[in-house]
């Protein structure tokens, strides 16, 4: 049941805000992709830059989400819903209850957000796997450099693991 209320401008503002949040998620997805690309080439400067970009975008998303919650409370209040109940409502619940002709726009924005957050989760999982593999590799490298004098693992010119001389690399270079 759609309730009629005094302020459709808040609903329009909510739709705009949801679109802004979705666009920030698109930018976040691009930043994660840039980070993964930098990881593939081991470009630490680009990795750091991408991570800083991610952090800034996430801060903007959190700020916009705070505004969305405030707007939801104000919207609910104008329709006679308690602030606690309004704060707990999802955008889809708002669309069903208050939005009237704006409901399809809210529903479309929510659907887009679901798709984007799913893509972000998948890309973050890839970044996590790459990071884990890098760390695993670095542990092997450092273990071979600090191995006892019985010989440590090394890499041959063709990239294959092999046994090195009987000296630790750190002993050789200080």
What stretch of H or E contains 153? Answer: strand 153-155
- Please tell me the distance from the alpha carbon of residue 30 to that of residue 116, in angstroms, as a whole number: 11
Quote the distance between the C-alpha of residue 46 and its chain's center.
17
Q: Tell me the pLDDT tens digit for each residue of 60-105.
A: 999 999 998 888 888 888 778 888 888 888 878 877 776 677 788 8
Q: Tell me the pLDDT tens digit for each residue of 14-44.
A: 889 999 999 999 999 999 999 999 998 989 9
pLDDT, position 46:
94
- Judged by DSSP in three states, 1 sits in coil
**Max alpha carbon distance in the chain (Å)?**
82
pLDDT, position 27:
97
Measured CA distances, 133 to 43, 52, 108, 164 (Å): 16, 22, 38, 23
CA neighbours within 13 Å on the CB side: how many for 126?
A: 15
DSSP letter at 100 equals: G
């Amino acid at each position: 049941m759609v309730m009629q209320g005094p302020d459709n401008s808040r609903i329009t503002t909510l739709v705009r805000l949801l679109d802004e949040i979705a666009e920030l998620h698109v930018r976040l997805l691009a930043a994660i992709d840039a980070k993964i690309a930098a990881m593939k080439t081991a470009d630490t400067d680009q990795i750091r830059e991408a991570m800083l970009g991610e952090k800034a975008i996430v801060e903007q998303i959190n700020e916009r989400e705070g505004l969305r919650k405030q707007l939801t409370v104000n919207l609910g209040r104008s329709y006679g819903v308690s602030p606690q109940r309004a704060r707990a409502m999802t955008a889809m619940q708002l669309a069903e209850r208050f939005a009237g002709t704006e409901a399809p726009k809210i529903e479309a924005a929510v659907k887009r957000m679901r798709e984007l957050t799913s893509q972000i989760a998948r890309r973050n999982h890839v970044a996590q796997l790459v990071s884990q593999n890098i760390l695993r590799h670095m542990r092997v490298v450092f273990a071979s450099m600090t191995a006892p004098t019985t010989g440590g693992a090394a890499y041959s010119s063709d990239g294959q693991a092999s046994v090195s001389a009987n000296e630790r690399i750190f002993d050789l270079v200080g």
